[in-house]
């Protein structure tokens, strides 16, 4: 069957992911290759001290993104896209979307980027004997309770972004287990919320007299391969304003970008790991055994099929880098110079031509708060000693190192303290679109070989399209691990970058200065308002 005929017959799947700066959609064929795509850029806003996106942002962005996909299909294949074999939605994990009995949003969407739940996160970590990061949905809920926010008594549904979108399109209040593991601790033996910890939470808030129990307001947990409902008539119209998309398309469980990243890099089996690097950055290792104790620097989440995963997550990765690149673009335009075909790649390459330790140039990329290093807000900084060798290469290397600094602190706990063994770690996300130098910087920072695939740039939406394909195409008893290894990635091209000893030594020296200079970041937060 040709591509045109396959699209017309619905022998495809669609994955759509709401990332921090882009909403992306991909249509994949039966061989899992990307046939067409669409994209919509968006940005969160800081409103009344809360990082948020509006409902209009969400639905307008989805419609524009899907219109781009539909247009791409039409231009490439002369086909009016009306259906697909299955569809799945994913989004940046965590956050807080609370609804009342009329399904009305009670407070603006609170995204993962907010660092306003420190008190709740600390208390819950002690109460549940489980690290509860500030980003998690349960931390946002408990902080709202501690703050005595009026809306809490009226909550009847509590969700993350991907779950909300899925609910609005299918009518089903469900969560993929990987996404659910960023809401509340999961019991991987049953692939559901940990009942003992649910009971502890309910007991802790009993004195407030709410009419709900926590399980009542959470979505039902599903695993990869489960059927999560079908696209409704109303849902089809919410996606495709042209009215061409048909209802009845099967939908896979909504997932978070951590889960789609694991799938997109074939990192759902034990002793495998992946690094997703974009606006935020996280490294995830699928564990053979539990960690020896609770670490506040590490999240414990799951794969889309429920296996336990240790995740080192940092809020800040490429945002500050993007601002610097835009400055260089302005300079080139001012001088009338032609911008290189890929300025990012040129700057990544340049960064590796000078001193491995940045020769006295220090950068902090804290566009927002960074819980790993105890910063509740962000102040991007550039600091250097008077005798620093301050040139373009060292400036860029320091900017790139700063994107890895907090992540390295978390990963050192896993590798050096817990002696977690990793057979392979695969990178994906926008960071890796800048070629070999991007992988080389990360390999040096983590002191681990970093592999990339030809699909590395596809990232989350491709991973969610794979989840949709798995749901409708798996054989009886075929696990997600086997499906990925034997079908999706069989014969795939992988390039592995080994850490360079000099760069590793240089990064470690730079990191010592980075740690020592955190007091400067703290002073900036306190002094510059």
pLDDT of residue 237: 97
Q: Quote the crossing angle between the two packed helices 501-516 and 518-527, to the nearest 10°.
A: 40
pLDDT of residue 371: 85
Of the candidates 171, 181, 318, the one whose C-alpha atom is nearest the C-alpha of residue 248 is: 171
CATH number of 266-314+417-495: 3.30.420.40
Strand 174-176 versus strand 220-222 pairing type = parallel
For the chain, domain boundaries? 266-314+417-495, 319-409+501-527
pLDDT of residue 453: 82
Whole-angstrom distance, CA of residue 343 vs CA of residue 434: 9
pLDDT of residue 279: 87
Q: Which residues of 153-172 are buried (b: 16+ CB within 10 A; e: fewer)?
A: ebbbbbbbbbbbbbbbbbeb
Task: Return averaged pLDDT per consecutive 10 residues of the chain, 529 residues in all.
Answer: 92 96 96 96 94 97 98 97 98 96 98 93 97 95 98 98 98 98 96 98 98 98 98 98 97 95 91 88 90 90 95 92 96 94 94 97 95 92 97 98 95 91 84 89 92 73 97 96 94 89 98 97 96
Whole-angstrom distance, CA of residue 167 vs CA of residue 142: 23
Contacts of 32 by beta carbon, 8 Å cutoff, 6+ apart: 466, 469, 487, 488
The residue written with tokens 């109303």 in the block is 234
Whole-angstrom distance, CA of residue 13 vs CA of residue 30: 8
Whole-angstrom distance, CA of residue 154 vs CA of residue 99: 8
Q: What is the DSSP letter of 413?
A: I
CA distances to 2, 110, 167, 276, 509 from 371, rounded to whole Å, are 50, 16, 31, 18, 23
Residue 132 three-state SS: coil
Contacts of 486 by beta carbon, 8 Å cutoff, 6+ apart: none
pLDDT of residue 457: 55
pLDDT of residue 409: 94
pLDDT of residue 496: 92
pLDDT of residue 458: 63
Residue 255: how many other CB atoms lie within 10 Å: 34
pLDDT of residue 132: 96
């Amino acid at each position: 069957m040709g591509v045109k005929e396959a699209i017309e017959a619905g022998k495809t799947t669609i994955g759509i992911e709401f990332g921090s700066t882009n909403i992306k959609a991909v249509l994949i064929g039966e061989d899992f290759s990307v046939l067409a795509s669409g994209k919509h850029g968006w940005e969160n806003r800081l409103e009344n001290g809360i990082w948020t996106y509006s409902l209009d942002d969400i639905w307008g962005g989805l419609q524009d993104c899907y219109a781009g996909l539909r247009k791409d299909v039409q231009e490439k294949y002369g086909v009016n896209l009306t259906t697909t074999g299955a569809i799945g939605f994913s989004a940046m994990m965590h956050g807080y979307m609370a609804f009342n009995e009329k399904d009305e949003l009670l407070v603006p969407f609170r995204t993962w980027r907010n660092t306003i739940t420190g008190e709740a996160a600390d208390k819950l970590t002690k109460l549940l004997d489980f690290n509860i990061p500030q980003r998690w949905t349960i931390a946002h809920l408990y902080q709202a309770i501690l703050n005595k926010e009026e809306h809490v008594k009226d909550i009847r549904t509590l969700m993350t972004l991907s779950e909300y979108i899925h609910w609005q399109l299918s009518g089903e209040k469900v969560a993929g287990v990987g996404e659910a593991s960023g809401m509340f601790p999961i019991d991987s033996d049953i692939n559901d919320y940990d009942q003992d910890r649910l009971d502890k939470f309910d007991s802790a808030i009993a004195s407030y007299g709410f009419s709900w129990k926590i399980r009542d307001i959470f979505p039902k947990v599903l695993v990869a391969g489960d059927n999560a409902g079908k696209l409704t008539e109303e849902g089809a119209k919410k996606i495709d304003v042209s009215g061409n998309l048909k209802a009845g398309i099967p939908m896979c469980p909504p997932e978070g970008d951590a889960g789609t990243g694991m799938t997109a890099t074939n990192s759902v089996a034990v002793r495998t790991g992946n690094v997703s690097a974009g606006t935020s950055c996280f490294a995830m290792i699928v564990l053979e055994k539990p960690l020896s104790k609770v670490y506040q620097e590490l999240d414990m989440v799951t794969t889309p099929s429920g296996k336990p995963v240790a995740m080192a997550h940092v809020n800040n990765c490429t945002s500050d880098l993007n601002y610097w690149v835009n400055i260089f673009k302005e300079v080139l335009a001012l001088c009338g110079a032609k911008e290189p075909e890929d300025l990012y790649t040129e700057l990544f390459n340049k960064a590796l031509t000078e001193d491995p330790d940045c020769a006295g140039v220090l950068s902090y990329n804290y566009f927002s708060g960074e819980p790993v290093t105890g910063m509740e807000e962000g102040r991007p900084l550039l600091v250097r000693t008077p005798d620093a060798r301050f040139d373009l290469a060292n400036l860029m290397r320091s900017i790139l190192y700063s994107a890895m600094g907090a992540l390295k602190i978390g990963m050192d706990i896993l590798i050096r303290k817990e002696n977690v063994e990793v057979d392979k770690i695969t990178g994906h996300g926008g960071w890796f679109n800048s070629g070999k130098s991007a992988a080389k910087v990360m390999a040096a920072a983590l002191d681990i070989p970093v592999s990339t695939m030809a699909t590395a740039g596809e990232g989350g939406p491709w991973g969610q399209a794979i989840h949709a394909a798995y749901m409708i195409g798996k054989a009886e008893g075929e696990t997600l691990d086997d499906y990925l290894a034997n079908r999706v990635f069989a014969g795939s091209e992988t390039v592995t970058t080994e850490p360079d000893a000099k760069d590793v030594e240089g990064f470690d020296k730079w990191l010592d200065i980075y740690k020592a200079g955190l007091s400067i970041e703290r002073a900036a937060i306190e002094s510059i308002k």
